[in-house]
Structure 1
Amino acid sequence: MLKQGLHFKLLQKLSPQQIQLMKLIQLPTQAFEERLKQEIEENPALDTGKEASDDVDDDLSNEFDDDLSEKTASDDLNIDDYLSDDEIPNYKTQANNYSADDEEKNLPYAAGTSFHQSLKNQLNTFQLNEEEYTIAEFLVGSIDDSGYIRRDVLDIVDDLAFTENVFTTLDIVISVLTSVVQTLDPIGVGARDLKECLIIQLKAKNKTKFVSLSIQVLEEAFDHFVKKHYQKLQEKFHISEDELKEIIKEISKLNPKPGSSYAGNNKIAEQIVPDFSIKLLDGELDLVLNSRNAPELHISREYNNMLKGYQESTIKSKSQKDAVFFIKQKLDAAKWFIDAIRQRQQTLLITMNTIMQYQYDYFLSGDERKLKPMILKDIADKINMDISTVSRVANSKYVSTPYGTKLIKEFFSESMKNDQGEDVSTKEIKKILETIITEENKKKPYTDERLAAILKEKGYPIARRTVAKYREQLELPVARLRKEI
């Protein structure tokens, strides 16, 4: 049986402009610049830079009417909506609260031969037949950026048959690996695990008493050494504590990631471009937005001139109307993009300024113990924006401070109550925990239970499992692995 009824439903949908704004807000400076270049390339109606100041008449066409209504057909197009009599275009009245860093900044590249190319070049110094060279080259290609071959050698044998048409045996591949690849520079490359990597480096050294002992310890008791079972090592190898110290000293000189030490890997050098800058001026905090986030955008003169020509024309052909309708679409897109850029700048400044005011004591001193508990909702409520908007700013933006460049989300933390019932930041507790571990006696490092007791004495009653969680977040090992002799 069919029924007909009337239902009321409240829906909220994001417009394309709002979606565009959200995507722009979450972009850091370098990604934003790439997005800007892409938009300028795709939309010829969008232009950058300042126009000539002596041509005021042409500048009049750069301003849009905010009440511009959508037209669905070229016959209904109102050209006057796109041509303004305002003397000063909107883009020329924007605030200049941006840092003075307009110079072009490019990411530096490391010069020289790449890591893998250097290894392949070294193969030419060996007297190898065609099959051995192919195997050695394939093994070099299997080395990762840290210098290790993580794949099973048997899989490499199969791949050589399928991809290189080289039918060989496991023994031959291992022979080429150990006699050729593992002798390449830097020493230690081509190892299949950490143990083999360290032993290769030790065997390349002059054979002293402690080098030989170090090789023996790694070959026969690698697990005991890694887990710092020092007493068991002394008993197994009949060595004194001083001798064990020398062995540890010898092994600690080795490089666990030989590939990462190669200077000519031709990778882009990591460079963080801060989105904001906070400076101390006469005891007061001063916040500025990186000028690279504030491009000067306006509408192309040529497109405005096309509209003027169409408006002044007495005879309007269909092709002219189609062309003007295309221009209108590009102008609409340019207007929306310029407006989104302006809103992005305002959102970034408002959000960061509120964070700065909230954590004012920290930014004045740089002392992490003065960071207040702060969650996304605290900032969102103050600026009357959605939590997701604050999250987009915090998760991808950096700020330059007198104490270093920081990721904004680092200023956010949960709260815990101390013994006086006051809310304190978990970052404050982590900082104190890190200080306690740094200053402990490494011969008898504190267990998590003892760390919890010390924190309780300092007025922070937290459980042992919470101490373990904070210690892991600080990337600090358990007491047994912090032990030294």
Structure 2
Amino acid sequence: MLKQFLNLKLSQKLSPQQIQLMKLIQLPTQAFEQRLKEEMNENPALEAGKEEDEEYEKDEFDNEEEYDDFEDNESIETDINIDEYLSNDETPDYKLQANNYSDEEQRESPLASPVSFHQDLINQLNTFILNDEEREIAEFLVGSIDDMGYIRRSIPDIVDDMAFTQGIYTDEKTVERILHIIHELEPSGVGARDLQECLMLQLKHKTPTESVELATDIIENQFDAFTKKHYDKLQQKYGISNDSLKKGIHEIEKLNPKPGGSFAGSSKLTEHVVPDFAIRIVEGELELTLNGRNAPTLHVSKDYQEMLQTYKDSRDKSAQQKDAVMFIKQKLDSAKWFIDAIKQRQETLFVTMNAIMHYQEEYFLDGDETKLRPMILKDIADLVGLDISTISRVANSKFVETPYGTKLIKEFFSEAMKNDQGEDVSTLEIKKILQNIIEDEDKHKPLPDDQLADMLKDKGYPIARRTIAKYREQLDIPVARMRRKM
């Protein structure tokens, strides 16, 4: 049964301008520059550089009475040719500026075209004598290799996949035979189905020595004991000295568990972090600066202002000109808003980072991570009078250059814990002390979590063993047994 009724409710919604501003705040420097270029390409009323005359004021042309004349349906010709304004041949200054701010003529540079990992493997297949069916199988196997150099699928699955997707009908023995050819390709170990096979393939390519033979036997027959670092059992199993076992283990440690990783990494472009802020110590005081690339000089196009002013002064207006003038006004308003949004973005970034800098002043003065104070988003939000979500957008995507390296801002935030004196200390401080203890431990007898907890307790940090395990995992530090070395 259908019913009609009235429902009154209050709701809050973000305006499109507020949403765009939040997106601008979240952008790091490089992404912001790209967004700026896009806006300037889309809005011809927005230009780079300083304006000589007075800036366009939005309120000056906001009087709706200016458009009352368009109520008439008559089309009156005037001396204004809107098409001439909209097809202005002048090139904006920003299009004439070189990106590197150099006066020299820009020259085209050839771009590197590195060979991909999989294409390199295909090229190596050309050195083998294969018939058409074998080559199709070999190329399918190469296509199944992931970026780390492994084939993470079973032979039966590969046979079925080739039949259903490629129309290649073969058997497991043929695929297994072709897979042995793949195993001959470089880098050594490529095409393995698991870590054990990967290490075995690499050892088979080594010159046979006593240590290599021992390493091969360990991987082939005692792989589980090796991965769990049960060196005493291995020494007892083979009846060898500690030095002999150490040499065999050393041969294994020289192998590459990710044969495709090194190749993939070499073909990728190096990404450079552009710091959004810089903190320097000047005469014992901290000095904060915002990257100048976040503060471009923009102004509203003078030509577009003159177009609107010309329309305002004209007496006779046509309906066609109304559409053109509305377009001009829209672009002017959009340009004015974008300039204001950039200024607000600059202010938000600066006041937020300035509050963080003074909150962590003790750390920034000497770089000792143990002096980082407990700090959560709400602490900074309360200081600067902004919402927590705004602080989060600044912290999660911005970098700051300090005398101690370039840091991600969110790394300065941490929860608080009580020490034995009841004082709040940062979890970052505790993690740093824990990391230092583990780095200085005897690797022949690494410290288990309960002993680490006792040592931190002696230093004034009463922490449970399970908390030690959690911090150790966050620091990507393995358990004591896996840290043991020969």
Measured against the shorter chain, the TM-score band is 0.7 to 0.9
Which letter does structure 2 place at the counterpart of 1:285? Answer: L
Alignment correspondent of 2:347: 346
2:222 aligned counterpart, secondary structure: helix
Q: Please state if 1:233 is matched with 2:231.
A: no
CA shift for structure 1 position 480: 1.0
2:162 aligned counterpart, secondary structure: helix
Which letter does structure 1 place at the counterpart of 2:407? Answer: K
CA contact (8 A) 1:182 1:190 kept: yes
CA shift for structure 1 position 165: 2.4
1:350-378 per-position Cα deviation (integer Å, ceiling 9, x unaligned): 00010001101111111101101111111
Alignment correspondent of 2:460: 459
* Alignment of structure 1 residues 99-110 onto 2, 5 Å: none
Alignment correspondent of 1:369: 370
* Alignment of structure 1 residues 49-448 onto 2, 5 Å: 49-50=49-50, 56=52, 59-60=53-54, 62-65=55-58, 69=62, 74-75=67-68, 112-178=114-180, 180-262=181-263, 266-448=267-449
1:287 aligned counterpart, secondary structure: strand
Alignment correspondent of 2:107: none
CA shift for structure 1 position 135: 1.3
1:480 aligned counterpart, secondary structure: helix
Alignment correspondent of 2:87: none
CA shift for structure 1 position 131: 1.1
CA shift for structure 1 position 421: 1.3
CA shift for structure 1 position 164: 2.8
Scaled by the length of structure 2, the TM-score of the pair is 0.87
CA contact (8 A) 1:415 1:425 kept: yes
Which letter does structure 2 place at the counterpart of 1:136? Answer: A
Greater Cα shift, 34-43 or 67-76: 67-76
Give the distance between the partners of 1:392 and 1:114, measured in 2 at CA: 36
CA contact (8 A) 2:28 2:398 kept: yes
Q: 1:440–1:103: structure 2 CA closer, same or farther, 3 Å change rule? A: farther
Give the distance between the partners of 1:455 and 1:441, measured in 2 at CA: 17
Give the distance between the partners of 1:72 and 1:429, measured in 2 at CA: 67
CA contact (8 A) 2:147 2:264 kept: no
Give the distance between the partners of 1:313 and 1:154, measured in 2 at CA: 81
1:430 aligned counterpart, secondary structure: helix
Give the distance between the partners of 2:346 and 2:165, measured in 1 at CA: 53
Which letter does structure 2 place at the counterpart of 1:167? Answer: Y
Give the distance between the partners of 1:71 and 1:136, measured in 2 at CA: 73
CA shift for structure 1 position 159: 2.6
CA shift for structure 1 position 267: 2.3
1:51-79 per-position Cα deviation (integer Å, ceiling 9, x unaligned): 5xxxx4xx33x3224687485994379xx
Which letter does structure 2 place at the counterpart of 1:124? Answer: N
Greater Cα shift, 467-476 or 267-276: 267-276
Give the distance between the partners of 1:307 and 1:417, measured in 2 at CA: 65
Which letter does structure 1 place at the counterpart of 2:137? Answer: I
CA shift for structure 1 position 235: 2.5
Scaled by the length of structure 1, the TM-score of the pair is 0.87
CA contact (8 A) 2:122 2:142 kept: yes
1:158 aligned counterpart, secondary structure: helix
Give the distance between the partners of 1:339 and 1:459, measured in 2 at CA: 51
1:381 aligned counterpart, secondary structure: helix
Q: 1:312–1:136: structure 2 CA closer, same or farther, 3 Å change rule? A: same
Which letter does structure 1 place at the counterpart of 2:35? Answer: R
1:429-464 per-position Cα deviation (integer Å, ceiling 9, x unaligned): 111100111111111111111101000001111111
Q: 1:76–1:116: structure 2 CA closer, same or farther, 3 Å change rule? A: farther
* Aligned residues between the structures: 449
Alignment correspondent of 2:480: 479
Give the distance between the partners of 2:410 and 2:345, measured in 1 at CA: 18
Give the distance between the partners of 2:354 and 2:114, measured in 1 at CA: 44
Give the distance between the partners of 1:299 and 1:199, measured in 2 at CA: 68
Q: 1:3–1:138: structure 2 CA closer, same or farther, 3 Å change rule? A: closer
Alignment correspondent of 1:43: 43
Q: Please state if 1:16 is matched with 2:9.
A: no
Give the distance between the partners of 1:284 and 1:444, measured in 2 at CA: 45
Give the distance between the partners of 2:164 and 2:128, measured in 1 at CA: 26
2:288 aligned counterpart, secondary structure: strand
What RMSD over aligned residues (CA atoms) do the two structures have, in Å? Answer: 2.5
CA contact (8 A) 2:305 2:332 kept: no
1:183 aligned counterpart, secondary structure: coil
1:278 aligned counterpart, secondary structure: strand
Q: 1:452–1:264: structure 2 CA closer, same or farther, 3 Å change rule? A: closer
Give the distance between the partners of 1:465 and 1:471, measured in 2 at CA: 10
1:158-199 per-position Cα deviation (integer Å, ceiling 9, x unaligned): 232233322111111121111x21111111111111111111
Which letter does structure 2 place at the counterpart of 1:75? Answer: D
Q: 1:46–1:407: structure 2 CA closer, same or farther, 3 Å change rule? A: same
CA contact (8 A) 1:109 1:269 kept: no
CA contact (8 A) 1:110 1:267 kept: no
Alignment correspondent of 2:90: none
CA shift for structure 1 position 152: 2.8
CA contact (8 A) 1:114 1:265 kept: no
CA contact (8 A) 1:398 1:406 kept: yes
Q: 1:222–1:290: structure 2 CA closer, same or farther, 3 Å change rule? A: same
Unaligned stretches of 5+ in structure 1? 78-100
Q: 1:253–1:435: structure 2 CA closer, same or farther, 3 Å change rule? A: same
Q: 1:160–1:302: structure 2 CA closer, same or farther, 3 Å change rule? A: farther
CA contact (8 A) 2:66 2:312 kept: no
Which letter does structure 1 place at the counterpart of 2:202? Answer: Q
CA shift for structure 1 position 128: 1.0
Alignment correspondent of 2:89: none
Q: 1:76–1:185: structure 2 CA closer, same or farther, 3 Å change rule? A: farther
Which letter does structure 2 place at the counterpart of 1:450? Answer: Q
